[in-house]
Amino acid sequence: MIKLTIDGKKVTADAEATILEVAREEGIEIPTLCYHEALTPIGACRLCVVEVTEGGRTRTMAACVAPVSEGMEVVTNSEKIQNIRRTIVQLLLARCPELKVIKELADKLGVKDTPFKPESEDCFLCGICVRACDEIVGVNAIGFTNRGVRNEVLPPFAEASNVCIGCGTCTTVCPARTFDLERVTKSESMHSFGKEYRRDYCSICGTHYMIPESYLSE
């Protein structure tokens, strides 16, 4: 067990825990976007940054990937951190002005508007869909393509994937809720990354599942 301090409070934690996990257990709120309990954290959105003092040195680190260490002092909500979070939200608001999850985050952090020119993206590249398709489903149907500002989540060659099994995981874990969960479970058909799926029923147990249209003819 490790002893550390978060926001002045002395806590103990598992040696392998991350700062985010410990904070959540202590009821301390740290906003996240690219974090998902079932997936490997990657520290990409940087909303969860906190100030960490270890061995006399203070650094800004992403809480979701930072391992705890003995004697560590963590501050989750200083002026500096608040400013960082607000600026990041301003950047996201400018990128995806229509997304509900970003607007809610902005409200929560007191960000009213953004000084940057608006774009109209519906994806902020958190990578949860890619990780889910890789780590949980295992088919790797979608991935990151290009780099930097041209980064995009797509199936290879931007063509309908022939390894996608239509499980709908990517659409249900997406924090931008680009697709509505209701629509996936109740609809007769689904459109995902360029491919059409239709609802069908298993003749053995009667549960429904989505099957790619093209497989129905094979």
Partner 1 sequence: MKDFSILIVDEPDDLRERYLRTLESDGYSVEVADDGKQALAKIRGSSYDLVLAELEIPGVEGLKLLKLMRNLDPEITTIIVTANPTVEGAVESLKGGAFHYLSKSIPPEKLLESVNQALEKKRLRQRAELLRIEKKIRATSDLEGLSEVDEIMNRQGYEPSSLIAVLQDIQKQRRYLPQDALRLVSARLNLPLTRVYGIATFYKAFSLKPRGRHLINVCVGTACHVRGATKILEALERGLGVEAGGTTLDERFSLETVRCVGCCGLAPVIVVDENFHGKLTQEKVPSVLADYT
Partner 2 sequence: MKHYRTHLLVCTGTGCVSNKSFEVKRRLEEEISKHGLEDEVLVVPTGCNGFCERGPIVVAQPDGIFFQQVSEKDVPVLVEEYLLKGRPVEKLMYRPEEGAPAIPKMWDIDFFRHQQLIALRNRGLINPESIDDYIAHEGYVALPKALGEMTPEEIIEEVKTSGLRGRGGAGFPTGLKWGFCRQANSSDIKYIICNGDEGDPGAFMDRSILEADPHAVLEGMIIGAYAIGAKEGFVYVRDEYPLALRRISLAIEHAEGYGLLGENILDSGLDFSVKVIRGGGAFVCGEETALMASIEGREGRPRPRPPFPAHKGLWGKPTNINNVETWANVAQIVIRGGEWYSNIGTEKSKGTKVFSLVGKVSNTGLVEVPMGISLRKIIFDIGGGIPNGKKFKAVQSGGPSGGCIPEELIDLPVDFEELTKAGAIMGSGGLIVMDEDTCMVDVARYFVSFLEEESCGKCTPCREGIKRMREILTDIVEGNGREGDIEILENLSNVVKEASLCGLGATAPNPVLTTIRYFREEYEAHIRDKDCPARVCKAMIVYQLSAEKCTGCQRCLRVCPTGAISGVALQPHRLDSEKCVKCGACFEVCQFEAIAVEPLYPKVSVAGPYGSERNDKAND
Task: List contacts with partner 2 (CB under 8 A).
Answer: 42-47, 49, 60-62, 65-67, 80, 83-84, 87-88, 91-92, 94-95, 115-117, 124-125, 127, 144, 146-151
What the block records as the tokens of 133 is 């398709």
Is residue 144 part of the contact set for partner 1 (CB under 8 A)? yes
From candidates 15, 163, 181, 216, binder to partner 1 by CB under 8 A: 163
Q: Which residue, 15 or 216, is less far from partner 1 as judged by CB?
A: 15
138 touches which of partner 2, partner 1, none (CB within 5 to 8 A by kind)? partner 1
SS3 for the chain is CEEEEECCEEEEECCCCEHHHHHHHCCCCCCCCCCCCCCCCCCCCCCCEEEEEECCEEEEEECCCCECCCCCEEECCCHHHHHHHHHHHHHHHHHCCCCHHHHHHHHHHCCCCCCCCCCCCCCCCCCHHHHHHHHHHCCCCCEEECCHHHCEEECHHHCCCCCCCCCCHHHHHCCCCCCCHHHHHHCCEEEECCEEEEEEECCCCCCEEEEEHHHHHC
66 touches which of partner 2, partner 1, none (CB within 5 to 8 A by kind)? partner 2
CB of 38 to partner 1, least distance (A): 11
From candidates 17, 19, 88, 142, binder to partner 1 by CB under 8 A: 142
What is the CB neighbour count within 10 angstroms for residue 144?
12
Is residue 140 part of the contact set for partner 1 (CB under 8 A)? yes
Which window, 28-36, 99-107, 132-140, 183-191, contacts partner 1 (CB under 8 A)?
A: 132-140
Is residue 172 part of the contact set for partner 1 (CB under 8 A)? no
176 touches which of partner 2, partner 1, none (CB within 5 to 8 A by kind)? none
106 touches which of partner 2, partner 1, none (CB within 5 to 8 A by kind)? none
39 touches which of partner 1, partner 2, none (CB within 5 to 8 A by kind)? none
Left, alpha or beta for 33 (phi > 0: left; psi -120 to 50: alpha)?
Answer: alpha
Residues engaged in binding partner 1 (CB under 8 A): 130, 134, 138, 140-147, 155-157, 163
